[in-house]
Structure 1
């Protein structure tokens, strides 16, 4: 047993003892059982546990294991759930002061496992896997605009394969750092009035939320692009089948073909182009770019039409009153005047019209017949008797009378009814009703092949009844005649020519200058662009003179002619 000094409780008595008495004081040994510590009077302090709440059903568990509630000293976090050895472990709920909370599994004090988290700032909801407080693994994120992502997360970011559904799109494919990356498929909602969605569908590769690399784009209108993308644009080699029928297979630069057609061009050797009545002609059109290179796109729809110079009708005429009801409006041309449409067809026409050489021959025959008639009358007057002369004179008068009547009918004079009253001419020719002739079908549109369109066997059709430019021209001619002094003499050749021209105009187009027009009518326009039109002057003339083989007659034999003359002289002498 350890020896200790005995302590006296009365410390004052000890101090009063003399030194001799203190030295003679003998210490005795005390046992441990006899040793008593002095009582220390301290104020009892009540322990306050911060995790203990007056309203808690089950306060912080003893020894840190079980179910309990703990409020952190900063008053920002509050945990209620299972504890193991003083650490959050098992199922619990962690509530933040801003309203965000997590409810799910805990492991060794960390949010790890499967759980549900609500984000008060964004109103998003996540249900899935967590690792050390981060969304990591498979999960579903719901957004306040009813969008939803279902897929893989890595460190709170969409990463790996996932499906993102929004009110306007649905994407399923690869992600990297919250952005579409890798192979994926995007489907856009049908077309909306605000153009926020267009109904397209894309299948291909993505880089940083952009279409990048090989892919196929199916447009809502039916167009398909199969090729390479760069930064959401067509770039590189690609095949584009447009809904209008245009097909382009080649290189692309920033959303447009490397060679983009911009205008139309009519291939012709000389201008104006000379064509003949009743003779077909061929038109070739090319699609060119700004460098005048042929662009080899296929399926572009090209239309050709014709026009005739537009004449403004004079006020007060029947044509001027009718002009407002006509839908056909004048078209501007690069030749300094406007034109109106003229029928163009590829329907075969009769080619039996007279040529210029035929007209000359007919005029020569007519003049020769008139000369021969005069010579015959002179011979009859000198050689025949008076009775024959009288008879021939009567026949000649009848012939002249018939010709005169024909002339008067043409000029509007009727002598058959007596009185010889002149019929009023119709200068505008507007009241003459002609039998309606159906217009021939127009030339069909052509689809380009490698940037070229060709039309064969094209004709200018006969003018429709009351064709405005022709009526205006006739009005102008009649006005000139009415203002001129006297009535010009008209011979038979001119009358015959007029009759033949009228007959030809019923079968063929009128000779003169026309304009051929070529337009790009691709609908809808390819990539929103329409090619610039092309114009060409046409000069319509009468058919070319036919080369006729000369008939070989008998050669003149002077000796034979002398012999015949001598024989005839001898016979007269006898």
Structure 2
């Protein structure tokens, strides 16, 4: 009986095996404070071997014990958070390699040091981000790579949970940044290759380029001059607010277009058919910085197998010709400008319907101007020309309409406008198969162009717009404008003759 009593002891706190009056073997023990209870192996009165320690709140540890302490491999569950850890322990602390499953979502697998993530590990957080790399005191620290839930991937240096040092960010939209970081932002020298094709290399401050382009500037000033029969180039720069060239940026995409002064009264006086045409095009006039609105006028790019020659008059040159030249009266210029306001929309029809070549140049082909990529802060649109006007007898002239309206008061029913509308109605009756706009006016874009005629003289507008997509860092630059002054071709001849005469005299 005595021997049996030594093998098993039952008391208020312990039920299990004993040796030499000490808990030894397998037994169940409830601590005096009743918060803990242990069931498992004992040796010389201490927990030793495999066992399970349960707490009153439902938390528990199950695994290896040594000399009364939690040491070795085991499973730990926290009832208050729902976290579960499986791995190595040292004196009750998470220490060594293990896997922590967080109750609110997420998981960490890697090294621990006395209860904290420390060393190399993989963290999957509840937001869906996945980090693999070094940790120190529970924070990302050292080298590591993270794949964000939005598709971005960063690889580089970390300091206390922030990207700092050198790193590479590959964004979900295919943009790439490589360079210096501080406080989790681009700071220092770095290069970004944006998904739109823009490349910026230079200094960054708090996530933004230190030398950023803020405006588009057309070289040559606000007024450019060109002869009627000349091709011309337009050069642009990207500048900052202080007017400095942004030479460390490449790839921004620019589009060029032309406009002509919008004169609403002239348009409304032209004809009801013409007014309906412009309204159907749903083209809204664009406000310019020159105090007037403009509507689109076709601009074309000339390409040829042979080199295309062009001549333009720089704005900074002291011109011998002005728009008030004796060969052009002021009234003629104003009339042409008003007419261009109406013809701009119809001429756009020609461009859309495929005007194939410029007047008198069968080997040169016209296309819409090609969008240009900025290189070192500059871009050049080459070999441009304005579209020729339509044949005047096919279009109602706004000024002529005004005169005819005056005559109609004296001779009702015999206006030029009535004749034009009858011609249009006859063409429609004959089943002319043209585009909607051409059909409305009875115009064939390929047959009815004014071949051999240059664009009318007067003031046009050149517009440079940024069409980079997607916008670089969410910002699109404002359009740039310049007046394009078209000068009569005969003035060019007169000017050449004057220069030749001066050369002869000098000899």
- Does the pair score TM above 0.5? yes
Indicate the structure with greater strand content: 2
* Contact preservation (8 Å) 2:300, 2:387: yes
Superposition deviation, residue 503 in structure 1? 9.1
1:160 aligns with 2:119: yes
CA distance in 1, matches of 2:469, 2:99: 45
CA gap of 1:346–1:323, structure 2 versus 1, over 3 A, is closer
Pick the structure with greater CA Rg: 1
Q: Is the 8 A contact 2:89 2:95 kept in 1?
A: yes
Residues matched between the structures, number: 397
Which residue of the partner structure matches residue 370 of structure 2? 444
Select which of 272, 296, 299 maps to 1:344. 299
Q: For the residues of structure 2 that align with 1:295 and 1:60, how far apart are their CA atoms? A: 86
Contact 1:60 1:69 in 2 (8 A): no
Where do 1:93-242 residues align within 5 Å? 93-166=52-125, 168-189=128-149, 198-242=150-194
Instruction: Kindly state the Cα deviation for residue 504 of structure 1 after the two structures are TM-superposed.
Output: 6.2
Computed over aligned residues only, the root mean square deviation of the Cα atoms, in angstroms, reads 3.2
**Partner SS state of residue 402, structure 2:** helix
Give per-residue Cα distances to partners, 1:487-518, cap 9 Å, x unaligned: 9xxxxxxxxxxxxxx99676321222100111
Residue 483 of structure 1 corresponds to 406
Aligned to 1:480, the other structure's residue is in SS state helix
Whole-Å Cα distance in 2 between the matches of residues 306 and 153 of structure 1?
A: 67
Give the superposition deviation at 1:50.
Answer: 2.5
Give the superposition deviation at 1:346: 2.0
Q: 3-state SS of the aligned residue for 2:58?
A: coil
Post-superposition Cα deviations, 1:172-225, rounded to whole Å, max 9, x if no partner, equal 100011110000010123xxxxxxxx2011110111111111011111111111
1:317 matches 2:233: no
Instruction: Give the conservation status (yes or no) of the 8 Å contact 1:343–1:463.
Output: no
Residue 49 of structure 1 pairs with residue 11 of structure 2: yes
How many angstroms apart in 2 are the aligned matches of 1:211 and 1:507?
64
Residue number in structure 1 paired with 2:229: 278
- 1:328, CA displacement in angstroms? 2.7
**Could you list the per-position Cα deviations for residues 368-399 of structure 1 after superposition, in whole angstroms to 9, with x for gaps in the alignment?**
xxxxxxxxxxxxxxxxxxxxxxxxxxxxxxxx
Q: 2:39 aligned with 1:85, yes or no?
A: no
SS in 2 for 1:483: helix
Q: Is the 8 A contact 1:266 1:284 kept in 2?
A: yes
Q: Pick closer, same or farther for the CA change 1:89–1:319 going to 2, 3 Å.
A: same
1: distance between equivalents of 2:213 and 2:97? 51
How far did 1:274 drift? 1.6
- Quick one: distance in 2 between partners of 1:309 and 1:98? 82
Aligned partner of residue 530 in structure 1, secondary structure: coil
The question of whether the paired residues in 1 share the 8 Å contact of 2:140 and 2:160 is answered with yes
Is the contact made by 1:51 and 1:59 (CA closer than 8 Å) also made in structure 2? no
Q: Distance in 2 between matches of 1:276 and 1:85?
A: 110
Is the 1:116–1:128 contact (alpha carbons within 8 Å) kept by the matching residues of 2? yes
TM-aligned CA distance change 1:162 to 1:505, over 3 Å: same
Once the 2 structures are TM-superposed, how far is the Cα of residue 146 of structure 1 from its aligned partner?
4.5
Does the aligned pair in 1 maintain the 2:465–2:478 contact within 8 Å?
Answer: yes
Residue 291 of structure 1 is matched in structure 2 by 242
The 1:183/1:464 distance shift into structure 2, 3 A limit, reads farther
Q: What is the CA–CA distance in structure 1 between the aligned matches of 2:228 and 2:18, rounded to whole Å?
A: 111
- Measure, in 2, the Cα distance between the counterparts of 1:151 and 1:503: 77
Q: After superposition, what is the alpha-carbon deviation per residue over 1:379-422, rounded to whole angstroms, capped at 9, x for unaligned?
A: xxxxxxxxxxxxxxxxxxxxxxxxxxxxxxxxxxxxxxxxxxxx
Give the gaps of 5 or more residues in structure 2: 1-8, 310-326, 328-341, 356-365, 412-447, 502-507
> How far apart are the structure 2 equivalents of 1:239 and 1:160?
31
Q: Does 1:545 align with 2:499?
A: no
Matches within 5 A, 1:305-454: 305-312=257-264, 313-314=267-268, 317-347=272-302, 438-439=354-355, 440-454=366-380
TM normalised by structure 1 equals 0.64
| Residue 215 of structure 2 corresponds to residue 260 of structure 1 | no
CA contact (8 A) 2:391 2:450 kept: no
Farther-moved stretch of structure 1 (167-176 vs 241-250):
167-176
Question: TM-score under structure 2 normalisation?
Answer: 0.72
Cα distance in structure 2, aligned partners of 1:302 and 1:272: 20
**Alignment partner, residue 413 of structure 1:** none
Kept after mapping to 2: 8 A contact 1:246/1:298: yes
Compute the displacement of 1:324 (Å). Answer: 2.8
- Structure 1 residue 480: Cα displacement: 3.5
- In structure 1, what is the Cα distance between the partners aligned to 2:49 and 2:91? 14
Match of 1:247 among 199, 204, 221: 199
Counterparts of 1:214 and 1:334, CA distance in 2: 45
Distance between the aligned counterparts of 2:244 and 2:96, measured in 1?
A: 57
Task: Kindly state the Cα deviation for residue 343 of structure 1 after the two structures are TM-superposed.
Answer: 1.1
Alpha carbons of structure 1 residues 463 and 118: separation in structure 2 relative to 1, 3 Å: farther
Aligned to 1:395: none
Partner Cα distance (1:96, 1:463) in 2: 93
CA shift for structure 1 position 243: 0.8
Q: Distance in 1 between matches of 2:245 and 2:96?
A: 56
Q: Is the 8 A contact 2:110 2:121 kept in 1?
A: yes
1:60 deviates by 6.6
